Structure 1
Amino acid sequence: MSSKILFVCLGNICRSPAAEGVARQLMPGIATDSAGTSDWHIGEPPYGPMQAAASARGYDLSDLRARQFTAADFTRFDLILGMDAKNIAEIESLRPPGNTTPVQLFTSYAPETGTDHVPDPYFTRDFDGALDLLEAAARGLKAALG
């Protein structure tokens, strides 16, 4: 069972911190973190509208702060989950030679949703739709971890 899971999106202010918030509530025994592939928001809290949407569902994201994904994350985590194919490509571009840490799309744990990515609500403005996908994927991840 993977014990340290990293969630990754572009800016680490919407999707990945929300995924971390959902996962830490659903799977309290699992160590989680989140990061972004960009350095745009380092040190910032999750985006206000995402925090509000998450809070309405009982998820507190207020203690989270954005950070950038680094190659060291491959050794710090047992599983790295990206929110879309571009995130996965950016993550993989930093993989150290010989490292075998699994990197997957988070939505691969929610095939019933019929989507291969979590659309970025910073641009779509659909914070609840993103949370629906994140919750479905977190439930699938929990089942997969046993």
Structure 2
Amino acid sequence: MTRILMVCLGNICRSPLAHGILQSKLSDDSFYVDSAVTAAYHIGNSPDNRSIKVAKTRGINISTQSARQFKVLDFDAFDYIYAMDNSNYTNIISLARNSDDIGKVKLFLEINSDIANKNVPDPYYGELSDFEYVFNLVDETCDILADKLKG
């Protein structure tokens, strides 16, 4: 089974969307998708209501997810670790024990060659339209990632 982890700052906006979207595109028999946080602000919380709403309008239920802290053991538990932005990438890499750990970590938007800015914008302080933009960006990139993982 291939295991994929999506990571952002609070695990309530971007990574839960990436988690839910990618999970909807992959078989549960062959793939496990999860998400985590680099900052402990929202541990145990459900995703932001705006993330839940945007995902629900697209037929994806992320309401049962719960924010959890990224931990060093995640390097052992996951094959791929995707950071939503450079800051999260740096935070994850700072916990790496060796080059194998570092090799598992990528910026999520590096997969999408059509996107110049490789940081998924954080919609937390924005409007619902910001969450919709992030959903669309993540959805497009998850299509590319799902094809790559299945291929």
Q: Is 2:4 the partner of 1:5? A: yes
- TM-score, with length taken from structure 2: 0.91
Shift of the alpha carbon at 1:98?
A: 4.9
Shift of the alpha carbon at 1:144?
A: 1.5
Aligned residues: 145
1:106 paired residue among 108, 113, 117: 108
Q: Structure 2 CA distance, aligned partners of 1:62 and 1:123?
A: 20
CA deviations on 1:13-40 (whole Å, 9 max, x unpaired) are 0100110000110112310100010111
1:132 paired residue among 131, 136, 147: 136
Describe the SS at the equivalent of 1:112. Answer: coil
Code of the residue aligned with 1:110 in structure 2: it is N
Q: Is 2:74 the partner of 1:34? A: no
Q: How does 1:73-112 map to 2 (within 5 A)?
A: 73-100=74-101, 101-112=103-114
Q: Structure 2 CA distance, aligned partners of 1:39 and 1:28?
A: 30
- TM-score, with length taken from structure 1: 0.94
Q: Structure 2 CA distance, aligned partners of 1:72 and 1:3?
A: 16
Q: CA separation of 1:131/1:4 partners in 2, compared to 1, >3 Å: closer, same or farther?
A: same
- Find runs of 4+ consecutive structure 1 residues off by over 2 angstroms: 97-101
Unaligned runs of 5+ in 1: none
Q: How does 1:58-69 map to 2 (within 5 A)?
A: 58-69=59-70
Q: Structure 2 CA distance, aligned partners of 1:3 and 1:109?
A: 17
